[in-house]
Structure 1
Amino acid sequence: MAELSWRDGATPVSAAFGEGYFGASDSLGEARHVFLGGNDLPARFRDGFHIAELGFGTGLNAVAAAHAWRESGTAGTLRITSFEAWPMAAEDMARALAPWPDLEPHARALVAAWAAGARRCELPGADAGGAVVIEVIEGDARLTLPRWPGRADAWFLDGFSPARNPELWEPGLIAEVAARSAPGATFATYSAAGAVRSALTAAGFTVERVRGFANKKHMTRGRLIPGSGVTGEPGVEGASP
């Protein structure tokens, strides 16, 4: 389990990486700007849309996506698969997600499942039916991602900063991200580091440096170049339709 301290009583800080899980005072606004907006969501939502994420952390990005899915009224199922090496304790997750009452129904369902030991759970979807299915795969992503049979339509690249957590930004792992992307897949990340952009370019993504959130000058987004990344057929479970 992740060992934490709390900055100002509200921001969880990783003892292993010496960095806060939230990079802005408006963390939900940042999640929406970087990861949802950076992937053109919710405009691209459709039944069976699959988000994959490096770094589950507090679960904020996943819960924000689930809320956006419900608010969009899209029928069917949204899938979110996240890769996390240092899972957070349920009580810490609940504390981290508590400031956002709009997210409470989704956060409550996630925390309850997490406390029960489940790493796959279903959150409520649109009133028209359907659901949001979240699965968290624990372990070093350099080992677990190559074994994942799915294909993502959008990637949230949200590890700790490359300076603190270089393993989650290695070119080899970014190449695995591309290899497990559906045609037309997109990515978004708060990082604008040159090494990160170079790894994404080498993996076959277009790379665009755009305005970051609040006081952060830049972030990065892009799309898989046709013919890049996808190798072979994905497995049945977790694959995008």
Structure 2
Amino acid sequence: MPYSEEFGDFYYSRADGRAECRHVFLAANGLPDRFAVRPNFVIAELGFGTGLNFIETWSAWETTAPKGARLDFHSFELRLLSRENIERALSAWPDLASKARELTSRWPDKPAGDVKIDFAGQDKSIRLHVHSGLALARLNAAAFAADAWFLDGFSPARNPGMWSAELMRAVADHTVDGGTFATYSAAGWVRRNLQAAGFRVEKRPGHSGKRDMSAGVLVNALQMPETLG
């Protein structure tokens, strides 16, 4: 299990990080169903970590998105892991080996800055852009609008800056009308920061015995997508 000494937290659920990704980030954002009706889709993420969310999303998008589709995946990470550490973490899921190799074969051995990788298939394409550094500064300098957000920083209690009111406002500023978010956290102050930024927030059942998580949509949308209801 990859563990951050700096923040005193694991990079993903010790119960099953992959199942957590599917439950929290994919299902609560209405994915992969939304891929089928939006040929050009943008996902943004706070906390790239081992790249597990990216690979799991890639797998879901590949089987659902129509021909000619494009996925842009922006992720913000303060400390990028080395190629070796990513390989070790992803080896827990042998059926993801092919995509893990595609990622790690093009991942710098010891990344010192942003990482940009294009994955081009026969009829679909993905662009991964990992923004390295402080999330608030890097997000404020970025130019994109996300259809869905994965808020996956370390625990709010251990890394409060990744959940601040200022950062949640920047997340909202980089979200399309009707865009959604999902996170494993149900901390009251995190939900209030998201609400203040303009999201309608609701609690959902959490993953693997965790009582609650949070998901939501920008309030200027006419209605929350059925898959989020």
Q: Verify same fold: TM over 0.5.
A: yes
Name the CA distance, whole Å, in 2 between partners of 1:16 and 1:168.
14
Cα deviation 1:7-59 (Å, max 9, x = unaligned): xxxx0110101111112321101101000011000011122100000000000
* Alignment-mate amino acid for residue 82 of structure 1: S
- Given that 1:56 and 1:83 are in contact with CA atoms closer than 8 Å, whether structure 2 keeps it comes out as yes
- Given that 2:150 and 2:182 are in contact with CA atoms closer than 8 Å, whether structure 1 keeps it comes out as yes
Of the structure 1 ranges 164-173 and 72-81, higher mean CA displacement relative to structure 2 is found in 72-81
In structure 2, the residue matched to 1:34 is 24
- Contiguous gaps of at least 5 residues in structure 2: 222-229
Please tell me the root mean square deviation across aligned C-alpha atoms, in Å. Answer: 1.6
- Secondary structure of the 2:6 match is coil
Deviation at 1:102, TM superposition (A): 2.4
TM-score scaled to structure 2, two decimals?
0.90
Deviation at 1:73, TM superposition (A): 4.4
Name the CA distance, whole Å, in 1 between partners of 2:99 and 2:199.
32
- Secondary structure of the 1:115 match is coil
Name the CA distance, whole Å, in 2 between partners of 1:100 and 1:143.
34
- Given that 1:178 and 1:203 are in contact with CA atoms closer than 8 Å, whether structure 2 keeps it comes out as yes
In structure 1, the residue matched to 2:119 is 123
Counterpart check, 1:199 vs 2:189? no
- Secondary structure of the 1:145 match is helix
In structure 2, the residue matched to 1:74 is 66
- Contiguous gaps of at least 5 residues in structure 1: 1-10, 228-241
Listed as ranges, the matches of 1:36-55 within 5 Å are: 36-45=26-35, 46-55=38-47
Name the CA distance, whole Å, in 2 between partners of 1:77 and 1:54.
21
Name the CA distance, whole Å, in 2 between partners of 1:108 and 1:132.
16
In structure 2, the residue matched to 1:65 is 57
Cα deviation 1:67-101 (Å, max 9, x = unaligned): 10112243211110001111101100011011112
Cα deviation 1:133-174 (Å, max 9, x = unaligned): 111010001111011110000000000000100010000100
* Alignment-mate amino acid for residue 116 of structure 2: R
Listed as ranges, the matches of 1:26-175 within 5 Å are: 26-45=16-35, 46-75=38-67, 76-115=69-108, 119-123=115-119, 125=121, 129-175=123-169
TM-score scaled to structure 1, two decimals?
0.86
- Secondary structure of the 1:159 match is coil
Q: Percentage identity across aligned positions?
A: 45
* Alignment-mate amino acid for residue 19 of structure 2: G
